[in-house]
Amino acid sequence: MKFFIDTADIAEIRKAKAFGVLDGVTTNPTLVSKTGRKFEDVVREIFREVDGPISLEVMSPDARGMVEEAKRLKEYGENAVIKIPLSIPGLEAIKTLTGLGIRTNATLCFSPLQALLVAKAGASYVSPFVGRLDDNAHQGMELIGQIRQIYDNYGFPTEILVASVRHPLHVLDAALIGADVATIPYAVFEKMAKHPLTDAGIKAFEADWAKVPG
């Protein structure tokens, strides 16, 4: 399973990269706005730091605008992946961009039929938002299982990128189901690495080591 970090904060990216488990980055307009910096400055810094896939989102409402914007975003680096909203114009844009050899990430997926459509259109990734489904009284991880079954039924190469991750259990469930990628906030990365029994064990070893004659 691949781990992406969901942020535009370069400090968080560097800390996650230091763990030795970071495979890529996802961003969106909200995350970029939180930095208080110019979009171009933020993006160029991320591309200097990360070699893996970096998802950048288009904002155009129509397919033609999405395609033209995607072409400009692709100039930031060969590892750029273009986030396209899951809509009818988005499907058209995904099909066009796939034909041009530009990788896409179909974002804001909330149903298995949406995921089926983007796979047929040729998307590189589909991003089901599990946390937002949970917030609205739906089982977000149930969607991941449905998409996994559909993609396996027909051999679709589109990768399932679990998004809107809120806690470590989302990551665990995604891994058990067989999702390809989880994009994770930095705070969740930290929680995944911690366990109270580990902390207690470290303290016990330190206390015992202190008793060993020097």
Q: Is 128 helix (H, G, I), strand (E, B) or coil?
A: strand
Element (H, E) at 162: strand 159-162
**Encoded amino acid at 58, one letter:** V
* Contacts by 109-113, CB closer than 8 A, 24 or more apart: 109/143, 110/86, 110/143, 111/143, 112/143, 112/146, 112/147, 112/150
Annotation marks residue 83 as catalytic = yes
What is the DSSP secondary structure assignment for residue 37, as one 8-state letter? Answer: S
83 closest CA partner among 112, 113, 53, 111: 53
In sequence order, what DSSP letters do the residues of 53-92 get, joined into one string?
-EEEE---SSHHHHHHHHHHHHTT-TTEEEEEESSHHHHH
Helix ranges (DSSP H) in 83-167: 88-99, 112-121, 130-135, 140-154
Q: Which of 83, 120, 191, 194 is catalytic?
A: 83
Are β-strands 80-85 and 125-128 bridged in parallel, bridged antiparallel, or unpaired? Answer: unpaired
Residues recognised as catalytic: 83
